[in-house]
Amino acid sequence: TDYSFVVGFINEPAVQGDTNGMWLEVTRAEAPVLGLADTLQAQVVFGEQTRDMSLTPAFGEDGVYEAIFFPSQPGDYTFRFFGQVDGVEVDETFTSSPEGFDSVAARVDLEFPGSEGEVGNSDTNSVAMPIAAGAVVLVLASSGLALRRRSA
């Protein structure tokens, strides 16, 4: 039976300098695969730099594993998972792209107010924008998140 790997960042959109990390869900016949923190290794690659990562089971999510890091540069990241899944040798690589999981965005592209001290027109904006942003995040969390992660 085939195994399914769903890969992405823990927090998407991924933002330069924010706490984030690798997010991996492994299933077999739609059932979570447990115990992979002991048999599966991980690496994160950016450009020519590679870092070994330790996978840990995600709290409350069977079959989900995470490895925390702070992406310090915007751009494309590659996640490599290798070792054994239920005794089967695996070596899978996933790279962020428009067709895959999100690339890391430059912090300056998402900061508000900007470094020039941009100010809204009224106090209404300061309340309405977080509420609207919360609604967008909620919609993304419920419908779009699965589309942004890449399956193998």
Residues in CB range of 112: below 8 A, 6 or more apart: 118
46-95 pLDDT per residue, tens: 999 999 999 999 999 999 999 999 999 999 999 999 999 999 999 999 99
Distance, in Å, from the CA atom of 14 to the CA atom of 77, rounded to the nearest integer, reads: 11
How far apart, in whole angstroms, are the C-alpha atoms of residue 140 and residue 12?
10
pTM for the full model?
0.74
CATH number of the 3-151 domain: 2.60.40.1930
pLDDT above 90 coverage of the chain, percent: 68
Domain boundaries, the chain: 3-151
